[in-house]
């Protein structure tokens, strides 16, 4: 399953013109893989966007992360409370 996102609100035009600042392409993609018993884990995450600030600073930023080596474990735990009899 692939989930993608995009920036919901745009930078106002006044900010773009007066301050020379803009962010384009801001959004991410997360890919989930189904493991045993209907358990879904994210296996990859990434995105790429461009930042322009104060007319002269411009960078393209990329991010890619991969998850691997998932293992299923069984855990049994109990919680016990002790009384304050003194």
Q: Which residues are CB-neighbours of 39 under 8 A, at least 6 positions away? A: 72
Helix (H) or strand (E) run with residue 42 in it: strand 39-53
pLDDT of residue 75: 87
pTM of the model: 0.63
- When pLDDT is averaged across residues 23-37 and rounded to a whole number, the result is 87
What percent of the chain shows pLDDT beyond 70? Answer: 97
pLDDT digits over 31-71, tens only?
A: 998 887 778 888 999 999 999 998 889 999 999 999 888 77
What pLDDT was estimated at residue 86?
54
Q: Exposure pattern of 7-31 as b/e (b: 16+ CB <10 Å)?
A: eeeeeeeeeeeeeeebeeebeeebe
């Amino acid at each position: 399953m692939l989930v993608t996102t995009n920036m919901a609100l745009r930078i106002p035009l006044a900010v773009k013109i007066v301050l020379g600042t803009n962010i384009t392409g801001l959004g991410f993609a997360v890919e989930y893989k189904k493991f045993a018993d209907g358990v879904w884990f994210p296996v990859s995450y990434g995105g790429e966007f461009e930042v322009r600030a104060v007319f002269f600073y411009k960078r393209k930023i990329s991010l890619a992360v991969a998850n691997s080596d998932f293992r299923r474990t069984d855990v049994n735990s109990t919680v016990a409370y002790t009384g304050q009899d003194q």
